[in-house]
Every structure is written in structure tokens, then in C-alpha cells.
Amino acid sequence: MNLADLLHDAVEDVEPVDRLDDLRARTSSPAHAARPWWWAAGGVVVATAATVAAFAVVGGGPESTGPAGHDHHGAHAQQTMLVAAYFVGDTPAGPRLFREFDEVPSGDALEAALERIQRPPSDPDYRTSWTATSFGAVEVHDDVIHVELGDAVLDDDLAVQQVVYTLQAAAGERLPVQLADASYVAAPQLDVLGLVSISDPAEGTAYQHDTVMVANGRASSFEATVPWELRGEDGEVVRQGFATADGWQDRLHPWRARVDLADLLPGFYTFVATTADPAGGAEESLLTTDTRTIIVR
Amino acid sequence: MTTVTDRPPAWTADEALELLYAAHWRRLVRLSVLLVRDQGVAEEVVQDAFVAVHGRWGRLRDPERALAYLRQSVVNRSRSALRHRAVVERHAARRTPAVDEPGSDQATLATDRRETVLDALRALPQRQREVLALRYYLDLSEGEISDTLGISRGAVKSHASRGVAALRSLLGSLLEEDQ
């Protein structure tokens, strides 16, 4: 047999159980839906609390970032910390880096951050350039971050910047990154980062329907304006507004928005932040956009 | 990173879910079995992927994009599931009692062959396994695989050729030379 035949043959006797009813049940009660099945088994990967992420941006150190309370899997409390990990997403200007905060088991900040970008991002809009075996150990000596290479091939500038930005964030300072026999520094933010990004909410965060969601992120957007929308499952806009960032030139600047969730029906919503359109009337596809799926209960 | 058109979706999220389920449930579970080697886990993984695609239907709207998203979601979730130690443990537990049942030789041979192929896949590095499953099971093009995995076409090519070489040495005569 050739390989295609062998692979088809290998799973030919797999007859999956019909789960359509389960699926209908899960999709009609969205409060349960975004919880991956293995959460129940004690896994800890995805969630990021708004409060903790804000803390991590300032602190950045592994000791300072023990999440205070995640009710939904608190029963399996294990020491965790947040890492800021950069992933690749698409923008009108081509692929750029976007940052997400991910909760990982406590440990060495550099190791954890490097490990995190060798796994898929939480936000399915993003991707990573690296695989589990791309890199080996990482450590700092003589003010240089040294990364041991696995099977990584360093032929993509943005992929290298993904490593540099992620490790510099973990180190808390902009140290050069030594990969193989070359040393890399961070490229200017406006050259490699998506021009708007959402730090909070994290992908899949759930909110009670009568609360206010505080969103924040970074942007370099015309006149510091960051328009945002909250969209329902069919794309209809249920809330909109704009945030004003601390600035808009030379680099990304922090922005923050309050989104009132009162009176929203339970379900999935998409929070969308975009760059502002200086001319007015531009197609949305020409603006940089970052999105997060949230759940309202 | 979302492009929204003014065209209203032809299907609701619920309708899309039913149609996608009817067309792709079995095939995607089988794909996931090739990746994680465990049917129960594969069913969970694919079910989660369907829930995710339902939640994003408002943004996907198009059946082709929804299918691409489903595939990507199944591969990513299979990868995450593999990292979850329980999979390995459960699989080990399930495999031990395999009592010899002297059925027909044909059936035994087929079962052996399937086990051998799945074992060989499991022995490959994850990316090679993913590329081979997408290429030879789902019959995706290099470009589609590159999109699904978020890696370059060059990387797809090299994972594929290394994977095929590795399988050839693992499977020996089961795999004919005329690929």
C-alpha cells in the first residue's frame, strides 16, 4: 500500500460515537462551552484574569504574578504565573506580532516564555512560528539571553523577533538575544507589532452579564483613538465606543476601555479593537484589528 | 484580523453546525485519531472544535473558511491534548489487556497493520505527523497545510520528506516504494 492508503486504512475501523446531541446542548448553553474538556481533569492552560494581566505588565517577575482567584478551576489550585507571549497574526501590512498573556505553571520566567511560544496560542487568530522541539534551554549571562537551538531554522525575521520580544518581556529588560552564532535585538515596535492589540480580556474569558468588562491593550492609532466594538454571534454590534491611548507616535501606547455588559443575553461575543481610520470610510479590512472571544453568562 | 462584509450569513450558527457535523464529523475524528492515537480523546477534541466553530460562525460565515478553521482547531487541540499527560496514561492502560482473540487471520493481520501504522505515526516528531496526516489523509495541498499549521511551504515540504523517510524505515515492507 502507499502512504495514503495506509493512513486511510489505519483509521477505517474508527466509528466515532454520535455526539450531535451533546453538541446541540453545549452550543445552546454557551456558559459551559468554552471550557475545554480537560479543565475538569485538572489541566491549567488557557485562562488569564484581567486583574492579573495588568499586574504582570508592571511586575513581569515570576514571584509577583500568582493569580489571586480563578473560580472556574480554583479547585485544582496550582502555582501559576502569567507570561507575555508574542504570536503571529495577520494585518493589512502583512503578518505582525501580537501579545497575549497566558497562565502557565510557575517556574523560570524565561524558560516558561520560550516554552509558551513553542505551543499554539490561546487565540485561534494567531499562530506561532515554532514547534515543541525548536529550542532547548535559555539563560541569561553577561547581560545576554542565550538560547540553545533545537531544530529551529532561523530563516524568518518575524519569527526571530517573536523570540526576541517574548524573551525580553520575560527578562524584563531589552537584552540582546543570542541564537546560534548570531545576536539579535528587538526591531522597532512599529515595524513588527500589530498596531493595535488587546491584553485583556484573554480569549475565552467569561463575565457575568451584569458586570462591566474592563478591556485594555496597546496601540499606535491615528490621534491615539482606538475604536472598539462588541459583536454578537451573528456579527451584530451590541456595544461600541472608543478608547484614547496615552499616545500614538513612535511606539505602541496603552489604552483602556470600559464595556458595560448590562442587559446582554448570555452567549459568545467578540470584542474588537481597531486602529482609527484617519480619512474616514476605509474598509475595515484595511485597518489593523485585534479580537477576543468572550462569554457572557 | 476579521473582515466583515455586509452580506448576511446564509446559515445561522446552528444550521452551520449541523451541516458541518454531517459532512465532517467522522473524517475529523479519524484525523485526530491519527494525531493522538486515542478515539475517546479524538472525539472530545473534535467536539470542542465544533463548539468553537459554532461560537465563531458570525465571523466565519463561509463554509470553506469554517472548514479550514475546524481543521486548524482539530490539529491544535489534538496537539494540546497530547501534552496532557492523561492521554498517555489512559492509552497505556487501555492497551495492556489486549487479549489474543483467535479470529480470522485476515482480521488479525489488518488489526496488526493498523496498530503498526498508528504506532509508527506516534513515533514521529509532532510536526511531521501533522503534515503527513494532512497531506495523505485529508489530501490537502502544500499551501493548505501551510495555512493550517501556520508554517511556511518550505517547512511543510521538509517535514513531509523527513516524515516519509522516517515512516519508510519504521514500516518497512508495509509501505511500498512507489510513492
Residue A109 sits in the same domain as residue A175: yes
DSSP structure string for chain B: -----SSPPSS-HHHHHHHHHHHHHHHHHHHHHHHHS-HHHHHHHHHHHHHHHHHTHHHH-SHHHHHHHHHHHHHHHHHHHHHSHHHHHHHHHHHTT-------HHHHHHHHHHHHHHHHHHHS-HHHHHHHIIIIIS---HHHHHHHHT--HHHHHHHHHHHHHHHHHHHGGGS-S--
Does the residue A142 lie in any domain?
yes
Residue A111 sits in the same domain as residue A230: no
Q: Nearest CA to A259 among A231, A222, A223?
A: A231
Q: Write out chain A residues lying below 8 Å of B117, CB-based.
A: 6-7, 9-10
Residue A126 sits in the same domain as residue A207: no
The chain A residue lying nearest B74, using CA atoms, is A124
Does the residue A55 lie in any domain?
yes
B47: nearest CB among A12, A22, A270:
A22
- pLDDT of A91 > 60? The answer is yes
Q: Write out chain A residues lying below 8 Å of B79, CB-based.
A: 119-120
Residue A81 sits in the same domain as residue A180: yes
pLDDT in tens, A46-59: 333 333 333 333 22
A41 at B interface, C-beta within 8 A: yes
Provide the residue ranges of all domains of chain B, joining segments of one domain with +.
9-97, 104-179
With an 8 Å Cβ cutoff, are B55 and A30 in contact?
yes
With an 8 Å Cβ cutoff, are B1 and A37 in contact?
no
Q: Write out chain B residues lying below 8 Å of A132, CB-based.
A: 126
Residue A187 sits in the same domain as residue A201: no
Residue A61 sits in the same domain as residue A156: yes
Q: Torsions phi, psi of A49, nearest 5? A: -90, 140
More confident residue, B30 or A212: B30
Grid cell 494540546 is found at B80
Residue A179 sits in the same domain as residue A236: no
Task: State the Cα–Cα distance between residues A37 and A31, nearest whole angstrom.
Answer: 13
Residue where one domain finishes, among candidates A170, A192, A214 = A192
The domain of A205 spans 196-296
With an 8 Å Cβ cutoff, are B55 and A233 in contact?
yes
Residue A156 sits in the same domain as residue A257: no
pLDDT value for B113: 85
The answer to whether B74 and B49 have CB atoms below 8 angstroms apart is: yes
Q: CA of A275, closest CA in chain B: separation in Å?
A: 11
A127 secondary structure, DSSP code: B
Q: What is the mean pLDDT of residues A202-206?
A: 84
Does the residue A135 lie in any domain?
yes
More confident residue, A139 or A277: A139
Total number of domains in chain A: 2
- pLDDT of A274 > 90? The answer is yes
Grid cell 485526530 is found at B32
**From the candidates A6, A86, A198, which should be mutated to test the interface with B, based on the most B CB atoms within 10 A?**
A6
With an 8 Å Cβ cutoff, are B175 and A2 in contact?
yes
- Which range (A122-126, A186-190, B1-5) has the least confidence? B1-5
The chain B residue lying nearest A152, using CA atoms, is B155
Strands lying side by side in the sheet with A212-219? A196-200, A212-219, A253-260
pLDDT in tens, A219-238: 999 889 999 999 998 889 99
Residue A112 sits in the same domain as residue A239: no
**From the candidates B51, B149, B171, which should be mutated to test the interface with A, based on the most A CB atoms within 10 A?**
B51
Does the residue A29 lie in any domain?
no
Does the residue A33 lie in any domain?
no
pLDDT value for A40: 32
pLDDT value for A50: 33
Of all helices (H) and strands (E), which one includes residue A212? strand A212-219
Return the CATH number of the domain spanning residue range B104-179. Answer: 1.10.10.10
A263 at B interface, C-beta within 8 A: no
Does the residue A200 lie in any domain?
yes
CATH of the domain at A263: 2.60.40.10
Residue A54 sits in the same domain as residue A188: yes
Does the residue A1 lie in any domain?
no
Residue where one domain finishes, among candidates A168, A192, A216 = A192
- Classified as helix, coil or strand, A87 is strand
Residue where one domain finishes, among candidates A192, A226, A241 = A192
The chain B residue lying nearest A43, using CA atoms, is B84
Does the residue A21 lie in any domain?
no
Residue A205 sits in the same domain as residue A257: yes
- Which range (A16-30, A221-235, B136-150) has the least confidence? A16-30
- Which range (A239-243, B46-50, B82-86, B127-131) has the least confidence? B82-86
Residue A172 sits in the same domain as residue A75: yes
- % of chain A beyond a pLDDT of 70: 80
pLDDT in tens, A36-46: 333 333 333 33
With an 8 Å Cβ cutoff, are B21 and A23 in contact?
yes
- Which range (A65-69, A199-203, B73-77) has the least confidence? A65-69
Q: How high is the mean pLDDT of chain B? A: 80
pTM for the predicted model, two decimal places: 0.49
ipTM of the complex: 0.84
Task: State the Cα–Cα distance between residues B109 and A182, nearest whole angstrom.
Answer: 53
Task: State the Cα–Cα distance between residues A269 and A260, nearest whole angstrom.
Answer: 13
